[in-house]
Chains A and B, each alone.
Chain A
Amino acid sequence: MRTKVFAFIAFFFFGILIFGLFYTQALKYEYYKGLSERNRIRVIPLEAPRGKIYDRSGRLLVSNRIAFDVEVIFQEIKDENKTVDLLSGILAIDRRALEKKIDAARKRPFAPAKIAKDIEKEKAIRVEEISLDLPGVIVTTRPLRNYLYKNSLSHVTGYIGKISEPELAKYKVYGYRMQDFVGKDGIERAFNDYLRGVDGGLQVEVDSRGRQINILAIKEARQGRNLYLTIDIELQEFCHELLKEKTGAIVVMDPSTGAILALVSQPDFDPNAFVSPQRSGEVSRLLNDSGSFPMINRAISGTYPPGSVFKIAVFAAALDTGKFNDTKTFFCDGSHRVGNRVFHCWKEEGHGAQNVRNGIKNSCNVFFYQLGLFLGVDEISKYAFKMGLGRPAGIDLPGEVSGLVPTPSWKRRKLKQSWFKGETANYAIGQGYLLVTPLQIVRFLGAIASGGNLPQPYVVERIEDIKSRRTEAEDTGIRHKVLEALKVGLGDVINAKGGTGYYARSKEVIIAGKTGTAQNPHGDSHAWFAGFAPIDDPRICVVVFIEQGGKGGLAPARSAKKIIEETKKLGLL
């Protein structure tokens, strides 16, 4: 019995299906035949412009301009020779190349084929004029990304490019097509889903000659969402100018929130090159330049030894653990012996007896060798990690790296060697295995400036009207008294007589900070300066890093001062 019911249900549905087919193929035949014959429904995509990007005061940074393309529909071309003649004249394209392109269009005679992309407006107007006499030639427009500030913002905005095959496979369900552009780096990549609009299109019916008969459906393209950054474009350009022709990075951050006011990495690139078909040579040069790596955002993806800037962490560890206090001193006679190795201070004749305040002001290496050895490597690493080194700062840009905070167990695991005492001495002055990014350093300073909170840096303030998602600042747990002592010490570095950061001294605002000159086995030393201002109520944190820039107390300190004075002028301080 149940088998009968089962069979009945199965065949009942087969019956419905046959009826459905009969309905579609016999009863509605004329209708569908009509659609199919005139057919050939053609879809003309309407590309959606990406969202615009603005700076903190609403100044336009990235927008879209109109690009003019020339297309041909092979089927409609009447006189191929005349078409090639006229077009090659106006577009200044070689006849042969143009013939080739038109020949390629022959394969899909009904579909428009692009023969020239992003031509000048004047040329577009002339093509439009002659297209009345040249059937089959059309000028189309599409939005093209336009980076108004070119190179100066390149590592923040990133760039866009044609979707790659793996990306396409991944995002196909979200409606991406083969020729679509997606963000490849920077904000363009990290916020691609917001910036990307919803493409629209026309679905048109065309007859067998490819002529449009009727529009079946229209879907308007919708622009992507606009982003508002924390960047101040004037400050950004100012910093960019300071670093011109150099290799390095500058980051300016508000320590209370983590908002990035400027972020520059040199060498840089012009993101406009990536959307302009005429500049493909430049693009491949940029992407393959393995000498200067212009595509690397050194502020977040470059790792370097911090040099003396790191003494701040050792200072904090010494006082915060209570193992050391301001009454204790170490003596500097210009060098220090650990085992059979002699470590030198940068000042040959020595600094004499140094307490911690003098130690940091003079950036006395011997003082910090001894302090480091006294604390031990584990304590130093613990504080380095607490202060945000050795892990990503969590900025909303892609490609951030962690750097490296070494420990004896790390060394055993990675290098299969035990930790040497001499390495602790070297570590205490920011040399050796330790690697940091400029962004980590500015965050590290931010923790001191903000009274112990490690801010999470970010560049996107809001998406349209919605605040971007961020995490709370992380409490380092370092005691207030220690932070105050550090501030005083860092103030001395710049403002006390004989301070190593003398060149950052400003008449307009009291700056605190630390210089760093990191030995570089591959060439000249790397130069660092990291600081904040005003000292009693810090509003701005700055890091200036110059690859092979020599002494941190010179160019970086000078630049940092200029930047801070500029922020004051701009009303950011």
Chain B
Amino acid sequence: MHFKNFDRTLFFATLAILLIGLLTLYSASREYHSQDIVFRQVFWIIFGIVVLFAILRVDYQRIASLSYIFYGATLLFLVMVLFSGRAKGGAHRWISLGFFNLQPSELAKITLILALSSYASVRRSDVTKISFFCKAFLLAIPAFLLILIEPDLGTALLLIPVTLAMLYMAGVNVMHILGVMLLGLASFPVFWHFLKGYQRQRLFVFINPNIDPLGSGYTIIQSKIAVGSGGIFGKGWLAGTQNQLNFLPERHTDFIFSVVGEEWGFVGALVLILLYALIVYRGIKIIETTPDTCGKLIATGLVTLFTLQVLINIGMTIGFLPVVGLTLPLISYGGSSLITTLLCIGLLLNIGMRRPLF
């Protein structure tokens, strides 16, 4: 173990965010949810940190060498979840493992990154060829489609920029990437056709929340009011009226940032975002300094994933982006999301620790 190269900054930024998360969760859940929520979250955090350190002990190259197996198993889970998954909110996303509901789509994010990285590092001599590009996409498509039909639109769409960012960093022709983006835009009408009613509704509501002020628009309107009314310094911890008077739906999960914004204001939100940015910054440093292609690509995938989740989640709470059902990493309540995120950070630290010393 090369603990000399352990990125302390990254790790402590993570801990700081977890702490902010717990305080926020306490505030969000104390009135209308059972207090269990905070205790359970603490449990998941401890468990997640154990996972993080466990991951550190294994050389990421060994993990990468098994990536296809992991990816294959994930696809299998994704298929299973369609048939036997526990339906929550009309979507099949969970597999119940007794004490824990496994969400294979969370797993898919990581295993796809691993699989793409090992593919690209093995074939790195072909990297500029179109066939390389197409095959890489073919690798990602099963996971994308399986998650899409669950349906978990947010996670599925997340996989596209992650894949593109990794291919970009692998060195593919930029024109290919631009081509795929154009194709994606052009196929939007077809895609629209396959969206479920409530998903279309969300997009309509994103454009104009007032068309449905009681249903899906309600959350966005209330969330914007919460964040906006927080002002520069916030209403104070446990003193957000939007939060405490139960005006904010889903405020312990997807919309937890609204509570941060309301109670701690712009200053608090800024601190949080800067902590996230710090993690991203340290992540990019790791990408930069890792000479091994595989590690570099894994790190790229993880950093992209993390960045996107943060941006999209916060973006939706202030009405900049449509509501797609993504959690805020390290803060939203929930074991699946928390453990996956900590696992990702563990992997990132792992890559950073094992860069060869010349």
Contact = CB atoms under 8 A, between A and B. Distances in A.
Interface of A: 2-3, 5-7, 10-11, 13-14, 17-18, 20-22, 24-26, 28-29, 31-33, 35-37, 39-41, 43, 45, 169-175, 200-201, 203, 216-217, 219
Contact of A10 (B87, B212, B231, B280): B280
Contacts of B198: 173-174
A36 B269 contact: no
A203 B213 contact: yes
Q: Lowest 3 A-B CB distances belong to which pairs?
A: A32-B228, A36-B229, A217-B213
23 contacts: A6-B169, A11-B281, A13-B311, A14-B276, A14-B277, A14-B280, A17-B311, A17-B315, A20-B318, A21-B270, A22-B266, A24-B224, A24-B318, A25-B261, A29-B229, A32-B225, A35-B229, A39-B242, A39-B245, A43-B214, A173-B198, A200-B214, A217-B214
Interface of B is mostly: helix
Interface string B199-227: 00000000000101111001001101111
B266 A25 contact: yes
A6 B280 contact: no
B265 A25 contact: yes
Given A3-B284, A216-B213, A39 B241 contact: yes
A216 B211 CA distance: 11
A174 to B, nearest CB: 7
B228 A28 contact: yes
Interface string B258-281: 000100011001100100110011
B230 interface: yes
A2 B222 CA distance: 40
Given A14-B273, A172-B90, A203-B214, A25 B288 contact: no
Contact of A26 (B210, B212, B242, B266): B266
Given A14-B280, A175-B215, A29 B303 contact: no
Interface in B286-339: 287-288, 300, 303-304, 307, 311, 314-315, 318, 320
A266 to B, nearest CB: 38
Contact of A6 (B89, B165, B213): B165
Nearest to A216: B213
A531 B215 CA distance: 53
Interface residues of B, number: 52
Contacts of A200: 214
Contacts of B287: 3, 6
A13 B314 CA distance: 11
Contacts of A174: 90, 198
Given A21-B261, A203-B214, A29 B228 contact: yes
A3 B290 CA distance: 11
B88 interface: yes
B247 interface: yes
Given A25-B232, A201-B214, A219-B213, A36 B277 contact: no
B259 to A, nearest CB: 13
Nearest to A217: B213
Scoring A5, A36, A203 by chain B CB atoms within 10 A of each residue's CB, the highest score goes to A36
Contacts of A40: 241, 245, 247
A200 B215 CA distance: 10
Scoring B198, B228, B230, B320 by chain A CB atoms within 10 A of each residue's CB, the highest score goes to B228
A14 B213 contact: no
B184 interface: no
Contact of A14 (B212, B247, B288, B311): B311
A6 B304 CA distance: 9
Nearest to A29: B231
A32 B218 CA distance: 15
A13 B241 CA distance: 30
A169 B261 CA distance: 30
Scoring B229, B261, B284, B288 by chain A CB atoms within 10 A of each residue's CB, the highest score goes to B229
A2 B174 CA distance: 10
A337 to B, nearest CB: 55
Contact of B231 (A14, A17, A25, A217): A25
A332 to B, nearest CB: 57
A256 B273 CA distance: 71
Given A14-B277, A174-B198, A2 B168 contact: yes
Nearest to B217: A217
A25 B269 contact: yes
B25 to A, nearest CB: 20
Contacts of B225: 32, 35-36, 39, 41
A44 to B, nearest CB: 9
A26 B267 CA distance: 10
Nearest to B314: A17
Given A21-B266, A43-B214, A169-B88, A36 B307 contact: no
A21 B214 contact: no
B285 to A, nearest CB: 9
A32 B221 CA distance: 10
Contacts of B315: 17, 20
A51 B279 CA distance: 56
Contacts of A21: 227, 261, 266, 269-270, 273, 314, 318
B58 to A, nearest CB: 26
B235 to A, nearest CB: 9
Given A2-B169, A25-B265, 12 more contacts: A6-B284, A10-B280, A14-B276, A14-B311, A17-B311, A17-B315, A18-B270, A25-B228, A40-B241, A41-B225, A201-B214, A219-B214
A17 B288 CA distance: 25
B352 to A, nearest CB: 14
A2 B273 CA distance: 24
Contacts of A217: 210, 213-214
B174 to A, nearest CB: 9
B164 to A, nearest CB: 11
A32 B224 contact: yes
Contacts of A29: 228-229, 231-232
Contacts of A35: 225, 228-229
Given A21-B273, A25-B231, A25-B261, A41 B247 contact: yes
A6 B261 contact: no
B171 interface: yes
A36 B244 CA distance: 12
A24 B213 contact: no
A95 B230 CA distance: 44
Contacts of A3: 169, 284, 287-288
Contacts of B270: 18, 21
A253 to B, nearest CB: 36
Contacts of A28: 228
Given A24-B227, A25-B227, A25-B230, A18 B214 contact: no
B311 A33 contact: no
Contacts of B284: 3, 6-7, 10
B11 to A, nearest CB: 20
A109 to B, nearest CB: 11
A140 B210 CA distance: 26
Contacts of B226: 36
A30 to B, nearest CB: 9
Contacts of B318: 20-21, 24
Contact of B307 (A10, A24, A203): A10
Nearest to A39: B241
A39 B277 contact: no
A32 B214 contact: no
A20 B223 CA distance: 14
B90 to A, nearest CB: 4
